[in-house]
């Protein structure tokens, strides 16, 4: 705010120039008097469909996925009006979905690849005390309970 006052009213005692660089997604929401103070305005449009497709690929990076080129084209069409930041948030949200599901899971099953996979519903629980016949080759374990941290605060 001090730089704005120095720029606007000459507050301060040196003759150095002040560069004010501003960015907004909603220039129409700014007061007309403020907008007039900025000599140069550069409009950067939202990305087009091909750019959005590429952004999804860039933000996925080396993360293993089974998306095809047609899936990326579909994502590009469905995200019209999204900025690059919107797409980054979208991809990050999707990448963290398995973490959220794992945190909510009560039971885990050992799959054929010897990896523990969370089970989501009671109907899919495969535990000896629920359905011994369905668990002939797999084992199921209940998630360990976490200590109650309410007394810490």
| pLDDT for residue 104 | 77
| pLDDT for residue 28 | 80
Kindly report, residue by residue over 19-74, the tens digit of the pLDDT.
777 777 787 888 888 888 777 888 888 999 999 999 999 999 999 999 999 999 99
Look at residue 3 and tell me whether its pLDDT is greater than 70: no
Look at residue 75 and tell me whether its pLDDT is greater than 60: yes
Specify whether the CB–CB gap between 87 and 56 falls below 8 A.
yes
Residues forming beta bridges with residue 117, ordered by sequence position: 109
pTM: 0.58
| pLDDT for residue 89 | 95
Please give the C-alpha separations between residue 75 and each of 45, 78, 98, in angstroms, as whole numbers. Answer: 19, 5, 20
Residues 6+ apart with CB under 8 A from 78: none
Better pLDDT: 6 or 32: 32
Kindly report, residue by residue over 83-135, the tens digit of the pLDDT.
999 999 999 999 998 888 788 777 777 778 888 877 765 444 455 444 444 44
Which two three-digit tokens encode residue 3? 């730089």
Domains and CATH numbers, the chain: 2-37 (no CATH), 49-100 (1.10.8.60), 105-145 (no CATH)
At residue 148 the predicted structure's pLDDT band, cuts being 50, 70 and 90, is very low
Q: Please give the Cα distance from 142 to 118 (Å, whole number).
A: 10
């Amino acid at each position: 705010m001090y730089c704005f006052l120095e720029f606007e009213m000459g507050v301060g005692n040196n003759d150095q120039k002040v560069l004010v660089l501003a960015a907004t997604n909603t220039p129409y929401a700014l007061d007309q008097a403020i907008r007039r103070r900025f000599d140069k305005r550069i409009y950067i449009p939202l990305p087009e469909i091909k750019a959005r497709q590429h952004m999804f690929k860039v933000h996925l990076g080396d993360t293993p996925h089974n998306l095809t080129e047609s899936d990326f084209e579909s994502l590009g069409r469905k995200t019209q009006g999204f900025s690059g930041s919107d797409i980054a948030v979208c991809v990050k949200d999707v990448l963290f979905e398995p973490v959220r599901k794992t945190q909510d899971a009560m039971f885990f099953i050992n799959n054929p690849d010897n990896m523990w996979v969370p089970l989501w519903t009671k109907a899919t629980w495969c535990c000896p005390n629920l359905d011994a016949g369905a668990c002939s080759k797999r084992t199921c374990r209940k998630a360990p309970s976490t200590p109650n941290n309410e007394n810490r605060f």
